[in-house]
Structure 1
Amino acid sequence: MTLLAKLRRDWLFNVRGDVLAGIVVALALIPEAIGFSVIAGVDPRVGLYASFSIAVIIAFTGGRPGMISAATAAIALLVGDLVRDHGVEYLFAATVLMGVLQIGAGLAKLGGLMRYVSRSVITGFVNALAILIFMAQLPELIGMGWQTYAMVAAGLGVIYLFPRLTRAIPSPLVAIVLLSGVAIYMGLDVRRVGDLGELPTSIPFFHFPQVPLTLETLQIIFPYAATMAVVGLLESLLTATIIDDLTDTGSDKNRECRGQGIANFATGFLGGMGGCAMIGQSVINVKSGGRGRLSALVAGSFLLFLIVVLGPWVAQIPMAALVAVMIMVSIGTFNWGSIRNLRSHPWSSSVVMVATVVVVVATHDLARGVLVGVLLSGIFFARKVARIVAVQSALSPDGRTRTYDVEGQIFFASADTFAAAFDFKEVIENVVINVSQAHFWDISAVGALDRAVLKFRREGTTVEVVGLNAASATLVDRFGEHDKDGAEIQLGAH
């Protein structure tokens, strides 16, 4: 592919849609970046600079066009103790190290691990995020005056009804501009963006973290950086998978790992905190027409323009307008079909999905929820595969040899079923264990084969194991005991 063709594919195929979507995302990023700064215990400019830096850099380095990355709550929740105990400079250093670890994960091709996350876990992750996004808006609704509720309702009305008139302009952008104009013109007593914190008035500049370059510093920041890197990649890769589905396009997960690392590495030197992909803003971007890399570049660039040049105007945006946009995102993100499918889908899939939702919502920790979902998926899968083990036996015409034909996957969960299939009390001269239709996966499986062979020998029976495939034979050769002193082993079909 020529350079011009690649440029068109990634940047220029959807210019109008990407620019308008990026503007909407930039407006939605401001209150979130400020809020995440508060969670982390740092100045608002730290979150805002991070959102600008990460969004712009990931536009060039990321592996998922159309996805928005910036400062996030998932990372902000992890660094509060570090900032409180050691100061913001250690946060910058941890962000740099986070980037290095993520680049390493990309080079090691760890993005491929996403294939082990089941659809049920992803659905649970999406539903939990939708709930958390909605819950995050409640502080802006509870205890507020009627003007706030009226503006949120009006904003939702514009968002859902305006597309019936035209889709040329994203309805969330129309809602934000319209409600801001009404609030400013009428002087309504509602919370504004400026009430969250002071907006910076200058662009970020290179800043080397002012920390001692010692082993002690590394010991302080490494646990935080490692956790930030893992959580950031987990959320980014899951979000990339969701955007893959929404846009019906693929993405390079390993490049996304490297891109996230490069963005965080640079952000640490620009006075920003760590970040990752944002499901809410990514959905806003896609639903507003954003598809290419240009949308993330516009979002980050326009965010900096808004806070540095148009700061006084941005401060007047009513929070109710942004709440309406985020409620729309929450409604659009939630997989409503998953509720209907609870009865029709296998019970194990439904349990995994619900468990993921419950843990994420209860702990506000995406990593814990996904970990629980993955573990449950693994347990249910192992349980299901363990059942698919069949052992049939047949006695030779002369009554001297019994052949056991084994089919299925023999591993830790099915080893006991395999061992229980043999009749060790039968008085027989020879036993043939034919495993040409089976596969031995681990030392538990080898141990079960050992026990079967040795029990037969104790009864005076000669044992022959036949049909081991090459991989199984290698495992048995290395860890098995029964073939060391007399049992005959044969490769291939019996």
Structure 2
Amino acid sequence: MLNFFRQQSGSIKNDVLSGLTVSLALVPEAIAFAFVAGVSPLIGLYSAFFLGLITAIVGGRPGMISGATGAMAVVVVALVAQHGVEYLFPTVILCGLLQMAVGLGRLGKLIRMVPHPVMLGFVNGLAIVIGMAQLGSFKTLSASGTLVYLTGTPLLIMLALVALTMAIIWLLPKLTTAVPASLVAILAVSCLSLAINNAMKTESGDNVLATVGDMLRTNTQAAALNPAPAHGHAQVPTETPQGDEQAESPQSLLVSLNVPAQSTTDPIVEAEGKAEPAEVADVGISGGLPTLFFLEHELVPFNLVTLWIIFPYAIVLCGVGLIESLMTLTLIDEITETRGKGNRECIGQGAANLVCGLFGGMGGCAMIGQSLINVNSGGRGRLSGITAAVCLLAFVLFLAPLIEQIPMAALVGVMFMVVIGTFEWASLKMFRRMPRSDVFVMVLVAGYTVVMHDLASAVILGVIVSALVFAWQHATHMGADVKHNEFGNKIYQLHGPLFFASVSSFKDMFDVANDPDDVVIDFYYTRVYDQSGLEAINSLAEKYESLGKRLHLTHLSKECRTLLDKAGDLVEINVSEDPQYHIATDRLA
């Protein structure tokens, strides 16, 4: 990973400026994934505000940014389409309660189980997904209502501004680190874009260079031209116009999923047998202060039927949100060379989603792209996240017209630099030195992330495959040194772990029929890890007993001795020689 992520040191000035930079990048993200979820863009913006503010204050990872994300939006899109937006808010509240329960149960430490090859695959797959996701910003809405790529002069100008943005971010830190390079790049390219758009207009009067406002209107038009059935079903999205961790494009998604945009425009009018959108020129991000959802929306019945509907969605939201948040926490830990608190982050994410649901939000989790922008811009403390959230709300309340003029080219350039800094380039040189199994896991996780666009499932798959590889490899490590003592007893000194995969090798070591009357199994160099191992010992003891022989176990751990109740008097333990085994505490969680 490139070292420019580590160049900035934490300070109040850096936190404030980096928070402002992140807030600018949060606007299109929140709008985009609100459309993915099938809700109003303002819901996405308010969700990003509550999530960013609360996790910054009470979360376990200073400098990490949370907001409305594609991972959560994809889960709730079917719920909104089938049951209505009224069911979304209690689902998000229940998700928050479940996440807080996970944190209070100190289960955040489970993130330690993610192996390093899975982390490498996660990071590399994420970088590729973010890079591919920017292609959506090079599309525009054609006269027929379909999305097409830019061509000609608009494409060349946008590519030039993207390159200029990247050049500023790369070169400015070599001259000064007084201000975040990303913020300077966004402001400089925005001024240049404004001049270009004023000087050059299309025949229809549209901007040559797409802005945040243009993106919002494009999404609205796409939704209006492709209305949803009353009870549509969501499918897997394919790409996104902006750089969050999922590759979903709100424009193309709305076209393919037929998910409604929840009253962001006037109703569609019919003209000559073809649906045409009503006037969308006044669509924007301006709004007032958020209010409690039950003041504006009809309450759903509080009964078992409602719980039966929302609980599966809440479970999935809880799992997806925590996996992505804890993986982001681990990534920021590595970049900043500090350590966050997983359990506290679970509680913080839960509290944020709880409040977000109460105020009519769509829920969310940590945002990998925006978190990387933050640390790259020097944001290290909680103030950076607080600043980003407060600025985002200020944009909605006071500065919407200005924010809508930010060109997408500037934000795409910023995200391309995030891609360069995120990809673990050193992993390409490690292929020949890494075990083949680790290379396979890394490529599998990265490939699954790119193809399926589901980071949470990719991490789970990687952990499962790594566990299976580990079990297979250690199943062959079980062995024993056989010797006899002065009393004629046969001693098997075991080496290697005894667990479900090595049970067969363990049983094949013993010659029950020809062994002497007293047999000793020495566990000094090994450990029994699961019930399969305990059952194998009991089974072996029964075989020796059936032949009138006795089995003695030495150096067996206290936990195993407690569980070996089936062996009864057949088991003789040398307590004085048994070592003490220590279990990791929760202090590091």
Listed as ranges, the matches of 1:414-429 within 5 Å are 414-426=502-514, 428-429=516-517
How far off is 1:387 after superposition?
A: 3.4
1:71 CA drift (Å): 0.5
Give 1:427 deviation, angstroms: 6.1
C-alpha displacement of 1:69: 0.5
State the AA in 1 paired with 2:509: A
Q: Residues 117-169 of structure 1: CA distance to partner in whole angstroms, max 9, x if unpaired?
A: 11222222111211111111011136222221121112112221222222212
For the 8 Å contact 1:158–1:175, the answer to whether it is kept is: yes
Counterparts in 2 of 1:402-417, with a 5 A limit? 402-417=490-505
Match of 2:286 in 1: 200
Give me the identity figure in percent: 43
Which whole-Å deviations, capped at 9, do the CAs of 1:372-423 have from their partners, x for residues lacking one?
111122122223333333312124567x532222233211111111111112
Q: Which residue of 2 aligns with 1:190?
A: 209
Deviation of 1:462 after TM superposition, in Å, equals: 4.2
Q: Contact (CA 8 Å) 2:286, 2:398: kept in 1 or not?
A: no
Aligned to 1:487: 570
- The answer (yes or no) to whether the contact 1:70–1:278 under 8 Å persists in 2 is yes
- Residues 412 and 184 of structure 1: CA distance in aligned 2, closer, same or farther (over 3 Å): same
- Is the partner of 2:522 in helix, strand or coil? strand
User: How do 1:51-70 and structure 2 match up within 5 A?
Assistant: 51-70=48-67
CA distance in 1, matches of 2:552, 2:186: 77
2:357 is aligned, of 268, 272, 280, to 268
Instruction: Deviation per CA, 1:56-88: give whole Å up to 9, x if none.
Output: 121211111111000011101111100001111
TM-score normalised by L of structure 1: 0.92
| 1:122 equivalent among 81, 106, 119 | 119
Which of these residues, 73, 76, 79, is aligned with residue 82 of structure 1? 79
Aligned partner of 1:475 in structure 2 is 563
CA drift at 1:40: 0.7
The DSSP-based 3-state class of the residue aligned with 1:183 is helix
Call closer, same or farther: CA 1:428–1:15 in 2, change over 3 Å. Answer: closer
2:384 aligned with 1:295: yes
1:99 and 1:265 in contact (8 A); partners too? yes
The aligned counterpart of 2:447 is: 358
Asked if 1 retains the 8 angstrom alpha-carbon contact of 2:324 and 2:366, the reply is yes
3-state SS of 1:403 partner: strand
1:308-387 to 2 correspondences below 5 Å: 308-387=397-476
Instruction: Look up the match of 2:582.
Output: none
Instruction: Tell me by how many angstroms 1:459 deviates.
Output: 4.8
SS in 2 for 1:440: coil
1:276-335: CA deviation from partner (whole Å, max 9, x where unpaired): 111110010000010111100110111121233111121111111111111111111111
Q: Give the deviation of 1:451 after TM superposition.
A: 3.2
Q: 2:190 aligns with which of 180, 186, 189?
A: 180
1:191 Cα deviation after fit = 1.1
Change in Cα spacing, 1:13 to 1:428, as seen in structure 2 (3 Å) is: closer
In 2, distance between residues paired with 1:282 and 1:462?
62
Query: Is 1:390 matched up with 2:495?
Result: no
In 2, Cα distance between equivalents of 1:396 and 1:103:
57
Contact 2:89 2:293 in 1 (8 A): no
SS at match of 1:271: coil
Residue 170 of structure 1 corresponds to 180
Amino acid at match of 1:26: S
Cα distance in 2 between the residues matched to 1:372 and 1:154: 39
* 1:202 counterpart SS class: coil
Letter in 2 for 1:207: F
Equivalent residue of 1:282, what SS?
helix
Moved more, 254-263 or 407-416: 407-416
Please give the alpha-carbon distance, in whole angstroms, between the structure 1 residues aligned to 2:422 and 2:450.
15
Is the counterpart of residue 452 in structure 1 residue 540 in structure 2? yes
Whether contact under 8 Å (1:442, 1:475) holds in the other structure is no
Hey, which of these two has a bigger chunk of helix by percent?
1
Residue 42 of structure 2, aligned match among 41, 45, 48: 45
* Contact 1:103–1:262 (CA under 8 A) maintained in structure 2: yes
**Offset, 1:425:** 4.2
Which residue of structure 1 lines up, in the alignment, with residue 371 of structure 2? Answer: 282
Report the Cα offset of residue 463 of structure 1: 3.6
C-alpha distance in structure 2 between counterparts of 1:171 and 1:462, whole Å: 75
Instruction: Tell me if the contact between 2:10 and 2:379 (Cα under 8 Å) persists in the aligned partners.
Output: no
For 1:298 and 1:269, the matched residues in 2 are separated by 22
TM-score, L = length of structure 2: 0.77
1:156 aligns with 2:242: no
Q: Distance in 2 between matches of 1:449 and 1:117?
A: 31
**Contact map agreement 1:18 1:292 (CA 8 A) in 2:** yes
Name the CA distance, whole Å, in 1 between partners of 2:314 and 2:184: 40
Task: Spell out, residue by residue over 1:226-248, the C-alpha distance to the aligned partner (whole angstroms, 9 max, x if none).
Answer: 11111111111111111111111
**Secondary structure of 1:388's partner?**
coil
What is the SS of the residue equivalent to 1:405?
Answer: strand
Whole-angstrom distance in 2 between the partners of 1:438 and 1:165: 58
Tell me which of the two structures has the higher relative contact order, counting C-alpha pairs closer than 8 angstroms and 6 or more residues apart: 2
Listed as ranges, the gaps of 5+ residues in structure 1 are 1-11
Unaligned stretches of 5+ residues in structure 2:
1-8, 140-148, 201-207, 217-283, 579-589
Aligned-residue RMSD, C-alpha: 2.0
Deviation at residue 13 of structure 1 after TM alignment: 6.5
Name the CA shift for 1:26/1:427 in 2 (closer, same or farther; >3 Å).
closer
Matched letter for residue 415 of structure 1:
V
8 Å Cα contact 1:33/1:47 also seen in 2: yes
> Which 4+ runs in 1 deviate beyond 6 A?
none
The separation in 1 between residues aligned to 2:353 and 2:496, in whole angstroms, is: 46
The separation in 2 between residues aligned to 1:111 and 1:311, in whole angstroms, is 38
SS in 1 for 2:171: helix
Q: Provide the rounded CA distance (Å) in 1 between the counterparts of 2:214 and 2:86.
A: 26
* Equivalent residue number for residue 318 of structure 2: 229
2:481–2:494 CA contact under 8 A, matched in 1: yes
